[in-house]
Amino acid sequence: MGSVYRAIDIELQETVALKLLKPALMESADALERFRQEVKLARRIAHHNVVKTFDLGDDGRQRFLTMEFVDGVSLSRYLSQRGRLDVLDFAQVAQQLCAGLASAHHAGVLHRDLKPDNVLVAQDGRVAITDFGIAVVSGALTGKGIIGTPTYMAPEQLQSDTALDGRADVYALGAIFFELLTARRAWPGNDLVAVAMARVLQPQPRRTYKRRPNWIHSTPTWCGI
């Protein structure tokens, strides 16, 4: 929907992230409403593992929103730089993702597009969820058309006019976890039909070990979603 820039808030003298709506969408009532919705829903969430959204503005020519600037990289780039994460690194990332997502769900917000590109990893190790551009209130209908990223979408997101809840985000979270531990996607490809059919025709992806480590048999207490 837009481009994001690093900018200086001259009133507060602070670095922020500035998201500009694409010029081609400026005349679209649906796009403008989605832009407003992103701010309204993201501001419901106040948590260390969710990027803060500050304000929505208009300079007469351009719609924009301001967000907290996170000095780091996306989780997808983090994974490409490091390769498959070991158990300790995975646990640190997973714990923070679970905490951030739980806070969103507690606020009644469904992200709908949770994926490594929409997660930031700061230089200090903080993990934060961002981009609530297609978020909705939990329990809302999907509406006509399919919106999201096929690789990480829950099966119910592929159906029109289906009520969604937090389980759709948890499905995407599981796909992210699989990718972090294996350095490959559970459902590769970006073609919607191909990915959807793979879930029906192919067996569930599995992560195999030559030796099953003890941590697999333990029950995590940090994933409160």
Active site residues: 113
Taking the C-alpha atoms of residue 127 and residue 33, their distance in angstroms, rounded to an integer, is 28
Task: For residue 174, give the amino acid letter.
Answer: G
**CA-CA distance, 54 to 122, in Å (whole number)?**
19
Neighbours of 15 (CB within 10 A): 12
Distance of CA 96 to the CA centre of its chain: 13
Single-letter residue type at 73: V
Contact residues for 202 (Cβ-Cβ < 8 A; gap 6+):
none
Three-state SS at 126: coil
